[in-house]
Structure 1
Amino acid sequence: MPKGGHGPKSKKSGRKNKVTVVTADFTVNDFADCPRPQACSRLKKSIASRSNLGVIPKALAESAKREDDLDWFEKDLEDFVIKDDVEEQEEDQATSKASSHKTRKKNNSESECSRRTYPEDLWHILADYIDPEDIGSFAGICHGTHQVTYLSSFWRKLYKRYYQEQPGLPEHVKPTSMERLHGLRARVIRALFVVYPPLAERVQSKGPMEDEPHSLKGYRCLVMWHQPGLKGWQFCFKFQRPTLDTLSSRRASKMDVYHGFNDLCYNPEAGCSVLQVTCCHFSSDAAVMGLLLTQVYVTLSTGFRHHRLRLHFDTRVTNSHNSPCDNVVVLDDVVSIRIFKWWHPSYPFIH
């Protein structure tokens, strides 16, 4: 009765097929009466010489077929198919070709979009129909629209479009203040927060405690003062956002002086805000000019009728809430907290 035996496994890497020699000359006695179990997989030279070599190719095919029918837990690690390096290289080449095709297509689309340039006259015409709250979006469309917003004619037309003569307007809003070129952009923006209804509602609809003093963290206190108000005492702090502008080593020239007196975007109050705190009673506080605001705490006062504001100042910005600080300003019985940006109508510093 023919039996099949498995030969020794090959030690080479990759997938290796087991060679199974099946002949009709093998007897049961060769397996059952074997003196050692380890010798069951080896054949005697006399038996191997009597084997029919013509049966070996057919036995190999049948053995490979039986191995494919085995379950995964009956196979050895070497029986599993491992992807060849050639197939991996072909897949990598296909992936690189697809990515290069996408990159080429994207570059072509970007080059087509970059070639689409409109004349500057078109942006000058469209600028007459831009609302004040959409100027930032209009300036970010392209280089041409950005240059339009740096023209004095753009800001003068914008001012004349919404200005209406009203009694009680401040002097910096009237047309006489728009004749000077120096700082024209800042004056037009301040005037729009007075004469343009959508912007005027933004600064007038806030309540006494709606402003967030936490937004001033990291700002530097330039000036502090106090003055009597209608409901008590007003304590004011002028803050400026710190900048990282580097000093230029270039020498100044006569043209720098000329452009300095004709600078459309001149605004020394840019990045400045005024914190106005109204208290029922007067309190003396330490001077904190030149220091940075590090922490802000708004809590209830002792009688639970008003609020208490505590401001921590330091020479540098600290992230820890428990860091020691000697410069603390405590304002008790707070009635209102207001923050005035440089464009607010109630901002006290106007140039």
Structure 2
Amino acid sequence: MPKKKGKKKASNADFTINDCANAPKPVGRVKKSVEIETGPEKTWEDLQDDDFDIIEESNADGTKNFVYKKKRNQSKNESENNDTGIEYPEIVWYLISPYIKPEEVGNFARINKATYAITKRESFWRALYKRYCQNNPKLPEKLRIENSYKLYGLRQRVIRALYHTYEVFVKKILQQATQESRPHQLVKRRCVNVWYCKGQTYWFVYFKLKKANVDTRVKSLDFIEELGRIDANPEMDSQVMQVTCQNFYEVPPLMGMTLSSVSMVLSQGFRHHRLHLGFNTGHYNVSRNVIPECTVVIDTVVNILVYDWWHPKYPNFENRLPLMDEESLPVLKKDFFTSCNRDLGL
């Protein structure tokens, strides 16, 4: 007698490769049977207000009704959002700071507020100077701070000293010397000063340019606070363009004007270059379509170099407190040309 057909029981066992390999028909994706545990259905009286929100929903026919929707697990979400890692005390970062290399100081300061505060301390920069700069014969006398207790601009002086003594920074200077300078990157900077320097063979024309300050508000300075500013740097956002040429070219006064255009072409004879610099009276009217109000042309150009404030050949002056506007202070010293010739080895 044939067997009676009965209902197949749902099996929770996993299917094997043999079930597919020896099957008479191609077998598609087999779904596992999953048992869903359902608890006893709760009545409206059993529901707690803390677990559900009352939300108003609109139906297709325009009617509205209120429904209960379960809240998300806020405790779990809050724990995930607040999981920011281990917060170490400041003393741990202070003990790590003496082992930070000069090229990693910026990354160290961006870790958290504690590391940023450490890079604002006098002890941090003096320790950096002691490890890499102290008693180094290559360090100029004007950058030595062994017997100096001045806090104003300490960070700037240590960084400039590192570019004379620290091997990684010295190699960076040598690599920049072999690369082609890009004077067009100085466009939209304000001219602070222009001066000349006569060498044995060539003339040197210097243009000191600074980024335009968008914030024109005058800030009241506290003399005591300024004296203790370790990170003070009057030369910040300033660059000096050195133009080396065979002949002397007179440049009109450009202080306060904005560099609007830079172009360089071959001069007659194809032995040198001719530099064209365009200046306008404000950074707001600097664009490609505006004709420069003042054009400076320097012929027989041999070389153009751009120096940042930390470069060893950047003409840094003594750090003074900014009690007045920088343009009202004398920019050049009496012995500037003598010191400039000494730095250039002329």
Shorter chain as normaliser: what TM range? 0.5 to 0.7
**Distance 1:225-1:128 versus aligned 2 partners, 3 A rule:** same
Aligned to 2:230: 264
Whole-angstrom distance in 2 between the partners of 1:102 and 1:278: 70
Aligned to 1:153: 123
Matching residue's letter, 1:270: M
Aligned to 1:350: 317
- Once the two structures are TM-superposed, the CA of residue 294 in structure 1 deviates from its matched residue by 0.9
Aligned to 1:337: 304
Aligned to 2:83: 112
Matching residue's letter, 1:281: N
Is 1:225–1:235's contact at 8 Å kept on the other side of the alignment? yes
Q: Could you state the TM-score of these two structures normalised by the residue count of structure 1?
A: 0.65
Is 1:178–1:187's contact at 8 Å kept on the other side of the alignment? no
Deviations for 1:97-134, whole angstroms, at most 9, x for unmatched residues? 9xx96998665333111x73210011111111111111
1:232 aligns with 2:223: no
- Once the two structures are TM-superposed, the CA of residue 139 in structure 1 deviates from its matched residue by 0.6
**Correspondent of 1:215 among 164, 182, 185:** 185
Is 1:278–1:335's contact at 8 Å kept on the other side of the alignment? yes
Q: How many aligned positions are there?
A: 253
Is 1:208–1:338's contact at 8 Å kept on the other side of the alignment? no
3-state SS in 2 of match to 1:245? coil
Is 2:241–2:307's contact at 8 Å kept on the other side of the alignment? yes
Aligned to 1:285: 251
1:129 aligns with 2:99: yes
Matching residue's letter, 1:141: I
**Distance 1:175-1:220 versus aligned 2 partners, 3 A rule:** same
Is 2:243–2:303's contact at 8 Å kept on the other side of the alignment? yes
Structure 2 counterparts to residues 1-351 of structure 1, below 5 A: 108-113=79-84, 116-167=86-137, 169-176=139-146, 178-207=148-177, 210-247=180-217, 256-317=222-283, 318=285, 320-351=287-318
Whole-angstrom distance in 2 between the partners of 1:150 and 1:257: 19
Is 2:281–2:293's contact at 8 Å kept on the other side of the alignment? no
Deviations for 1:125-152, whole angstroms, at most 9, x for unmatched residues? 1111111111111111111111110110
Q: Could you state the TM-score of these two structures normalised by the residue count of structure 2?
A: 0.66
Matching residue's letter, 1:212: R
Whole-angstrom distance in 1 between the partners of 2:213 and 2:72: 45
Whole-angstrom distance in 2 between the partners of 1:278 and 1:120: 51
Matching residue's letter, 1:308: R
Is 1:182–1:261's contact at 8 Å kept on the other side of the alignment? yes
**Distance 1:192-1:207 versus aligned 2 partners, 3 A rule:** closer
Matching residue's letter, 1:174: R
Whole-angstrom distance in 2 between the partners of 1:197 and 1:118: 33
- Once the two structures are TM-superposed, the CA of residue 165 in structure 1 deviates from its matched residue by 2.7
Matching residue's letter, 2:223: V
Structure 2 unaligned segments of length 5 or more: list them: 1-58, 61-66, 319-346
Alignment root-mean-square deviation, CA: 2.8
Whole-angstrom distance in 1 between the partners of 2:145 and 2:218: 36
**Distance 1:319-1:106 versus aligned 2 partners, 3 A rule:** farther
- Once the two structures are TM-superposed, the CA of residue 319 in structure 1 deviates from its matched residue by 5.1
Which aligned segments of 4 or more residues in structure 1 are displaced greater than 4 angstroms? 100-107
3-state SS in 1 of match to 2:114? helix
Whole-angstrom distance in 2 between the partners of 1:104 and 1:335: 70
Deviations for 1:139-193, whole angstroms, at most 9, x for unmatched residues? 1111111111011001011111112534353112323365322211111111111
3-state SS in 2 of match to 1:180? coil
3-state SS in 1 of match to 2:161? helix
